[in-house]
A = this chain, B = another copy of it.
């Protein structure tokens, strides 16, 4: 029997003391489900509303599965997949961890500097525990907040994580849920907050059957670029929404995560009066009023902040405007950028398209964002997508790195670094996967080859095979990079940033032909030269250099800036 899912009932498996645990699965498509734990077997009892449940003897660390018609499936609300994506789930007692972070308070977004971190490639070991030793260095650099790339249990050992399935289970090869608790606790001890990238717009294709067998997790009414859309507004969607919302809450409550980054919310279509994203914001903020929600929206729609209640939003347009000036790349969606006028516009609010026509999309796009505070926009000069979705996963050209950092870290928005950029990491970040289904593996491999066929022919280079472990290994940080002194520049920029007053950039001026751009932030003046040659940038006489990426020469009435450099004056 189906019906209103009782919100107070939690999905999944929870120890309740006394050597027992409660198990609950929403399985409106199954008349009968058995719990198998160790070599014991228990019938789950129907509790109405499509719910089946039992309280049985079970110890944390024991493996369990739900069996129906002779087949074992993991718990859809699994919090620990210690035996692979299709193996048994493991009973977790999150309450067993001894937290030491009592005094920690996550910073507000306006005081935050984010650092996007992929656990698998951040260290040789590719684990939470191995990552801990690098936290102090990040804090010393000026980072305030780690943003972990998705770690919901995904197929195989390594991957970017955007094809996760069990949205409440920290990937076991990274160290599993207990490893995540240790990592968050260590970060908090270092004074660092931790955000988590979560994917609610689809699940990896490898996991569709394992969810679909229990209930209608998917809908055919809408499409996503990555597979079936989740059922957030069709028959029986209450429980699917709740499955997501309970997962969002548990990261905050049981793992002390300080906020979420919601992947690709433009691919979440929901006709409910309260959109799923708004519901996630409401539940996360209720779980912890200081927790924040940052959306990857791709809609240039201020309603994401003003109506749905997100605290922040990724600002891809800032990246594109900056990158194209620095590199001259003009493929795909970069084609619309490439002028200082574009950069000047996104330095006000990073909606390059704010109702204007986008030739890339072939339509008017976006809306003005003046009502949104600048710190709500998360900006970056690289991230996993902008690096990893290139054919070779190569990072920004060396010569462009100092100015890229200068513009991003001193902009009036909330900056995010992508792991390794702070030292000019020499390893690429390539697209890699470890699919366990041959069909999906082949499709992924061939899709990648097709996408970059023209590049491969032109450059005479092979596009890395995502399924080859070497591709993953090549993407691990070496912690060697160039140009020399880049890390010190990042540290200096972040120290300088802390001195800048919050609020809009003002007096934005530029010379498209000469290649310079100038703006003010309170008493500070930022100068940037996007050309390859020295330029003379007109300024008031009374300024002094606070910081420069390269040597800037102050003359009466102007500053001489070398090619691809920036200077902060006061």
**Contact B364 A238, beta carbon cutoff 8 Å:** yes
* Chain A at the B interface: SS class: loop
**Contact A363 B235, beta carbon cutoff 8 Å:** yes
**Contact A361 B235, beta carbon cutoff 8 Å:** yes
Copies of this chain present in the complex amount to: 2
Which A residues from 200 to 238 make CB contacts under 8 A with B?
A: 220-223, 233-238
**Contact A236 B299, beta carbon cutoff 8 Å:** no
Q: Is there a chain B Cβ closer than 8 Å to A301's Cβ? A: yes
Q: Is there a chain B Cβ closer than 8 Å to A187's Cβ? A: no
Binding stretch for chain B, among A115-123, A267-275, A465-473, A534-542:
A267-275
**Contact A237 B363, beta carbon cutoff 8 Å:** yes
Which A residues from 363 to 405 make CB contacts under 8 A with B?
A: 363-364, 366-367
**Contact A238 B357, beta carbon cutoff 8 Å:** yes
- Choose from B2, B233, B362, B367 the contact partner of A273 (Cβ within 8 Å): B367
**Contact B299 A362, beta carbon cutoff 8 Å:** no
| Binary per-residue interface labels of chain A (258-286) against chain B in the complex, 1 for a CB within 8 Å, 0 otherwise | 00000000100101111000000000000
Shortest Cβ distance from A299 into B: residue: B271
Q: Is there a chain B Cβ closer than 8 Å to A4's Cβ? A: yes
**Contact B3 A235, beta carbon cutoff 8 Å:** no
- Choose from B2, B221, B303, B363 the contact partner of A234 (Cβ within 8 Å): B363
Shortest Cβ distance from A358 into B: residue: B4
Complex CA distance for A220 and B220, rounded to whole angstroms? 12
| Binary per-residue interface labels of chain A (351-364) against chain B in the complex, 1 for a CB within 8 Å, 0 otherwise | 00001010101111
A299: shortest Cβ distance to chain B, in Å? 6
* A273 neighbours in B (Cβ, 8 Å): 299-303, 355, 366-367
* A220 neighbours in B (Cβ, 8 Å): 223
Complex CA distance for A2 and B364, rounded to whole angstroms? 12
Complex CA distance for A300 and B271, rounded to whole angstroms? 11
Complex CA distance for A302 and B271, rounded to whole angstroms? 12
User: Can you identify 15 A-B contacts, CB atoms within 8 angstroms?
Assistant: A2-B362, A220-B223, A222-B223, A222-B269, A233-B363, A234-B363, A235-B363, A236-B362, A237-B363, A238-B357, A238-B363, A266-B271, A269-B271, A273-B301, A273-B367
Which chain A residues have a beta carbon within 8 Å of chain B's beta carbons? 2-4, 220-223, 233-238, 266, 269, 271-274, 299-303, 307, 355, 357, 359, 361-364, 366-367
